[in-house]
Amino acid sequence: MLNKSIFFSKIPKYIYHKDKTPYFTSPKEMTLVQSQYELFSYGVLIGSIFSFIGLAAFLNYKSSNEILYVAWMIISFMVLVSIHFTIKKGLMLCCVLISIAPSIVVSHLIYDQLIGDKNFVKMVLLSTLLMILIKYGIRLIKIVYFQNSKSNLIERQ
């Protein structure tokens, strides 16, 4: 019984940490540390996905020499650079790019489903994922906006 209580007393520290997991905090109420942690975790997730997309495009370009794969490599590189500038400099244009990029990929998958086999379950799941990505993208834009406004207030004082 004692081990169980020790185990469950440690769980909230890993599930919810005030600074490292601020996902239930409003962007307006976030501190700079909280916003940096959230931007970093989103950057790692999206960066790893677009790194794999860029690597797959590079390997396919090596074997087929199609120009479409060069476009995917450029887009992946732009997203990775935008992640860096969003986290380090707080540039709003880069934040908009990393907010929209996953939605564009999911929209492309939805388009392929509309043209292709038109599976209803896949369409519902992809549409739900698209709505979640758009909502979270808006949250990221708000986070960077409020982060920039807070850093401007700190510089003025």
Instruction: Dump pLDDT digits (tens) for 85-141.
Output: 999 998 999 999 999 999 999 999 999 898 988 888 999 999 999 999 999 999 999
- Parent domain of 134: 34-146
Please indicate, yes or no, if residue 16 is contained in any of the structural domains: no
CB within 8 Å of 23: residues ≥ 6 apart: 38
> Among 131, 134, 110, which residue's Cα sits nearest to residue 122?
110
What's the distance, CA 33 to chain centroid? 18
User: Is residue 10 one of the residues assigned to a domain?
Assistant: no
On the question of pLDDT at 25 being above 70, the answer is yes
- Looking at the domain assignment, is residue 46 inside a domain? yes
């997991």: which residue's tokens?
A: 21
Asked if residue 4 belongs to a domain, the reply is no
CB 147 within 8 A of CB 90: yes
Does residue 52 belong to any structural domain of this protein? yes
Q: Is residue 103 part of a domain?
A: yes
pLDDT digits (tens, 9 = 90+) for 68-91: 999 999 999 999 999 999 999 989
pTM, entire model? 0.80
Alpha carbon distance 37, 21 (integer Å): 7
The answer to whether position 139 is within a domain reads: yes
Provide the domain count of the chain.
1
Q: Are the C-beta atoms of residues 110 and 74 closer than 8 Å to each other?
A: no
- Tell me if 132 is assigned to some domain: yes
Residue scoring higher pLDDT (5 or 43): 43
